[in-house]
Amino acid sequence: AQSVAQPEDQVNVAEGNPLTVKCTYSVSGNPYLFWYVQYPNRGLQFLLKYITGDNLVKGSYGFEAEFNKSQTSFHLKKPSALVSDSALYFCAEYAGNNRKLIWGLGTSLAVNP
Amino acid sequence: DGGITQSPKYLFRKEGQNVTLSCEQNLNHDAMYWYRQDPGQGLRLIYYSQIVNDFQKGDIAEGYSVSREKKESFPLTVTSAQKNPTAFYLCASSMRGPPTGATASGSGHEQFFGPGTRLTVL
């Protein structure tokens, strides 16, 4: 079965340090991969996507993600974290003819001042 | 959240009552979705619709119903048959429906979300 794994429930990082939020997917072929962010009691906001092309994808608010086909990973990164980046982050994928977006369970990011 | 509105923001329901959650989008998107979010369980798909007057069940459709009479509107009714309806409900839309091998275009499949409705059963 297709699945998206976010292996860390929570990530803590100091303000100004680089951050990484991990995501791995399980599918053969060419996945469509997405990252979303959710602030408390709000809807999800689209950050970025990978469809094809360059493995490094740039998105909103200074975030980027690196697609690695051999490791089936799509980790979210930011060179310098801000306290305002503290939120819940979700990875998701469409794959093949699956007509539903498969979601990870989310990673809570805490950026400490 | 821009372009997709959900109302009300908070909703309280007595047991045995049906309630309807509103979702409207002005993005001219073809596809719309309803998700349920519970702590620690991520997002679970309730229903989705790719065109007017057509919709499909998601993973947890039991106890819910939808309609898609207009492109911009996709209301969700939580019926009394839903045994544990207390949750955060999210509506989303996308320009295109899910990609398939025949129709994948590489764009327009990302979903955009409304602000959510928190439903509590009293």
Residue A28 CA from chain centroid, whole number: 19
Residue B97 — pLDDT band, cuts 50, 70, 90?
confident
pLDDT, tens digit, 9 for 90 and up, residues B58-78: 999 999 999 999 999 999 999
The pLDDT value given to residue A89: 98
Which residues of chain A does B59 touch, with a Cβ-Cβ cutoff of 8 Å? Answer: 100
% pLDDT > 70, chain B:
93
The pLDDT value given to residue B83: 87
Question: What is the C-alpha to C-alpha distance for residues A9 and B40, in angstroms, rounded to an integer?
Answer: 9
The pLDDT value given to residue B38: 93
Check whether A41 has a pLDDT greater than 60: yes
Residue B34 to residues A62, B94, B98: CA-CA distances in angstroms?
29, 12, 14
Torsion of CA A108, A112, B2, B5, to 10 degrees: 50
pLDDT, tens digit, 9 for 90 and up, residues A53-101: 889 999 999 999 999 999 999 999 999 999 999 999 999 998 656 567 8
The pLDDT value given to residue B106: 61
Q: For B45, which of A49, A51, A100 is closest by C-beta distance?
A: A100
The pLDDT value given to residue B1: 47
The pLDDT value given to residue A97: 61
Check whether B100 has a pLDDT greater than 70: no
Among the listed residues A3, A8, A27, the one whose alpha carbon sits nearest the alpha carbon of residue A89:
A8
> Closest-CA residue in chain B for A6?
B42
- Mean pLDDT of all residues in B13-42: 93
User: Which residues of B lie inside 8 Å of A (Cβ-Cβ)?
Assistant: 1, 4, 6, 40-43, 45, 48, 56, 58-59, 88, 90, 92, 97-101, 104, 106-107, 109-116, 118
- Mean pLDDT of all residues in B28-55: 93
Which residues, in sequence order, are CB contacts of A32 under 8 Å at separation 6+? A49, A50, A51, A93, A94, A95, B99, B104, B109
Question: What is the C-alpha to C-alpha distance for residues B63 and B85, in angstroms, rounded to an integer?
Answer: 9
Which residues of chain B does A97 touch, with a Cβ-Cβ cutoff of 8 Å? Answer: 100-101
The pLDDT value given to residue B73: 98
Distance from the Cα of A30 to chain B's closest Cα (Å) equals 10
Instruction: Give the least confident one: A1-15, B15-29, B60-74, B105-119.
Output: B105-119
Which residues of chain B does A52 touch, with a Cβ-Cβ cutoff of 8 Å? Answer: 106
